[in-house]
Amino acid sequence: MLYINKSYATPHWSQGNSVTERSFRTFHNIISKYISKDQPDFDELIDYASFCYNTSIHSSTGETPFFLMFGRDPIFCIDQILDPSINSMATNDISEFKQKLVTSLRKAWEIAADENKKAQLKSKEQYDKLLRNPTITVGDRVLLRNYAGRVETSKKFHIPLKEIFRAIKIESSHLTITSCNSPNAPTRIVHINQLKKCFEELTPACTSPNLLDEEIESLNKAENERKEKEQVTSQGSENSEKVKEKDTREPSPNKNKLKTSPIRQKGYNLRANPKPRKLSID
C-alpha cells in the first residue's frame, strides 16, 4: 500500500546501499572536524551538521536540498541583519503563489534529476575502467576478503584473503557461498568483488607441483646456461694455475744476469786522518 519494498544490504559492501552510506560519510567528515577528544558530544553537533548539509549545493544535483524541499532559498541570520524588511504578500495572491511554487518545484526536480543522471554516468565510466569480468562459476572454490582481522592490530598486517569457500549459487553480482572447512556452517551472501578464485593445488604438501611444458623448457635452458658458465670459469681457473706453475719452473733471464754479473762497488777511505802504517825492516 505504501510502495515500500524491503531489501537486505550486502555486509561490508557500502556500494550496495550507496545513498545511506554516502550520507553517513558526509556527516562523518563534518562532525570529525569539531568533535572533542573523548567523543561524548557528537549528538550535539548533528543538528548543525544537518543544517549545513541541507543548505549546501550538491555537486550531483546542482541545488541545495532545502530549495528542492521548500521551493525557496533559506534565510540566514546575516540576511536579516543586512536587510530586515519582509516582503509581505497579499491574501488574494495565495493561489498564484501556490501555482508558482508547484511549477518551480517540478521544474527544479526535473533539472536535479537530469544533473543526477549525468553525475551517475560519470561515476559509472570511472568505475567501469577498473571493472573485471568475473570468471567464477557454481562449484568453484573462492577466497573471501578479510574484513575482521585481529583486535588491537594494524590493518597493514592482516591477511587480505581468508578461508576457502565453495560457490553454490550466483544471482547477478551476488554469490551464495559455503565454507569448505566447516560445511555445516550457515551459508553467506556476498558481493562478487569480495571474492577471488582459488587456484590451490589439491596435492600433498611434499608433492612437486605440476609444471607446464613451457616452464620445464625454460628451467632446462636456465640449467644448461648455468653449467656452461661453470665450465668457462673452471677452464679459466685451470689456465691461470698452469701459467703460475710455468712461471715458477722457468726463471726469467733478467734474474740470471743479475746473478752472473754482480755490480762491484769500489771502497773509499773517508776518514780525515788515516793512521800511518809501521814499516818493518828485516
Angstrom distance (rounded) from CA 135 to CA 63: 42
- Residue 255 maps to a domain: no
Residue 171 exposure: Cα atoms within 13 Å on the Cβ side: 8
Q: What is the pLDDT of residues 128-178, one digit of tens each?
A: 887 767 788 888 888 888 877 677 777 777 777 877 888 888 887 788 888
Q: Are residues 104 and 156 in the same domain?
A: no
Check whether 258 has a pLDDT greater than 50: no
Q: Are residues 156 and 70 in the same domain?
A: no
Q: Are residues 119 and 160 in the same domain?
A: no
0.75 exceeded by pTM? no
Domain count, the chain: 2
- Residue 162 maps to a domain: yes
Q: Are residues 121 and 27 in the same domain?
A: yes
Q: Are residues 146 and 125 in the same domain?
A: no
Q: What is the pLDDT of residues 82-129, one digit of tens each?
A: 887 766 555 567 778 788 888 888 999 999 999 889 988 988 888 788
Assign residue 187 the CATH number of its domain: 2.30.30
Q: Are residues 115 and 161 in the same domain?
A: no
What is the span of the domain harbouring residue 57?
Answer: 14-84+95-129
Q: Are residues 121 and 145 in the same domain?
A: no
Q: Are residues 33 and 110 in the same domain?
A: yes
Domain end point (choices 158, 174, 197)? 197
Q: Are residues 120 and 166 in the same domain?
A: no
Check whether 280 has a pLDDT greater than 70: no
Query: What's residue 22's pLDDT?
Result: 84
Angstrom distance (rounded) from CA 44 to CA 40: 9
